[in-house]
Chain A
């Protein structure tokens, strides 16, 4: 079974600073990878996904992520954080027959200080 590790439980950044959230996965072949965001009291919203091709993928809200096979990583980045980015972020990898299940990391809570 696949697994996803998000090493940072909490991260605090200043508004306007850059952000990088770490994600490591375990999978033998090319994985299907996702980043979701959850605002307080809300469901999850897809930020971006990777399944092949260019290793740098762009998402919504100015986020991007880079797939690095050699490091088994799929880190999420944003050059300048806004206060509205405060939320919990989940990395996930597709699993199961035809990859139709998701395995989630434990999540990283982002706090933005003004």
Chain B
């Protein structure tokens, strides 16, 4: 099992450009999450999904959109990138069997720089 994978690993954008980050999991998990990590701020939830075809806003959703067309994939889009979106982005997934008791499994991260 590959677990949670993220594409790409690194990306540099110019202000105003758009891009999509792809997250894939092969564990048949219902829940998927997108976080951003900034120094001294821990991980903050951007958007999440509780199942195929569903999405919900997290703590810092502005400037991002997501889609979950297939259960195994969760896409994060930046329509018009801004320097404030320079960050490391992590995807995670988990099962729904234990409710809040289940651990989230994390991908390796995508380092995004917006110039």
Interface residues, chain A, with chain B CB atoms under 8 Å away: 4, 6, 9, 32, 34, 36, 41-46, 49, 51, 90, 94, 98-102, 104-107
Contacts and interface: CB of A to CB of B under 8 A. Distances in A.
Nearest to B43: A104
Q: Which of A36, A43, A98 is the most central at the interface, judged by chain B CB atoms within 10 Å of its CB?
A: A43
Interface of B: 4, 31, 33, 40-45, 48, 50, 58, 90, 92, 94, 96, 99-101, 103-104, 106-109
A98 B99 contact: yes
Contact of B45 (A4, A34, A94, A102): A102
A104 B42 contact: yes
Nearest to B30: A100
B43 A98 contact: no
Contacts of B4: 43
B43 A43 contact: no
A100 B45 contact: no
